[in-house]
Amino acid sequence: MSKSVYSLILSDEIILLLDKIAYKKGLSRSNMVNFVIAESLSFETPEMRTADIVSNMQAIVDKSQSLKFLAQQSNNFASICSAINYKYNPTVKYTVELFKNDKNCLGELKVTLRSTSEQLLNAINKFYWLFVSLEKKHLGQVDCTVDKEKFFRKLNICKANELNAKTVSELITCYVKNFNTLLNMYFTNLDNIEETYPKIEEVYLKNLKVSPI
């Protein structure tokens, strides 16, 4: 969506109230004015859409027993964490960044794990590559990157712009849940991965039908 510079004359009292609300929402004054005008005209801006998606994701995650929604960094970020079935229950973090003006890509999922345990980091790195192999086997060429304890995956939903924010949030959250389920299956059976792999693939395919990202 293109933007231009306009000159407006507004009362100081309105600007004061506007700035207070903008601060609470984490928006600049210009974005806040844009938001208020769009809302009054029943027009959905890219910023409003991403905010709705993140809000709906939080509502879904709050009902989950295995996932926890973290405080929002901004209206186009959603951060979720979960414990891994491993010694001391380390925490894995899922960060979804939504791209507001990219027609070819909805956003990106980043999975991170902070740990000083080389054994744990090597294990999760192997899972990332296992997951990438499943994606490529059943989806073809996918945009995934693995960097030691980090995993990056571009998110694309067919005709995403035609879907409402609630549906998009459900699809993204399903994908995160699927990833988290497989991750915990992997760590639960860390000593017997070869025999567990067919089960992991079976669950992957089952959940892929629900969340076609």
Condensed to tens digits (0 to 9), the pLDDT of residues 121-145 reads 999 999 999 999 999 999 888 899 9
Q: How confident is the model at residue 212 (pLDDT cuts 50, 70, 90)?
A: low
> Has this prediction a pTM greater than 0.85?
no
CB 60 within 8 A of CB 68: no
Max distance between CA atoms of the chain, in angstroms, equals: 70
Please, which contacts does 121-124 make with residues 24 or more away whose CB atoms are closer than 8 Å? 121/148, 121/149, 123/86, 123/187, 123/190, 124/84, 124/92, 124/149, 124/183
For 42, how many CA atoms within 13 A lie in the half-sphere containing its CB? 0
CA pair distance 183, 209, nearest whole angstrom: 18
Instruction: List the end-to-end C-alpha distance of the chain, in Å, as a whole number.
Output: 24
pLDDT at 94: 97
The rounded radius of gyration (Å) of the Cα atoms in the chain is: 20
DSSP-based three-state secondary structure for 82: strand
Q: How confident is the model at residue 90 (pLDDT cuts 50, 70, 90)?
A: very high
Convert the pLDDT of each residue in 153-195 to its tens digit.
998 876 666 788 898 999 999 999 999 999 999 999 998 888 8
The answer for residues whose C-beta is within 8 angstroms of residue 182's C-beta and 6 or more apart is 127, 131, 200, 203, 204
CA pair distance 47, 29, nearest whole angstrom: 14
Pairing relationship of beta strands 107-113 and 68-69 according to DSSP bridges = unpaired
Least confident of 19-33, 87-101, 171-185: 19-33
- Phi, psi angles (nearest 5°) of residue 26: 75, 30
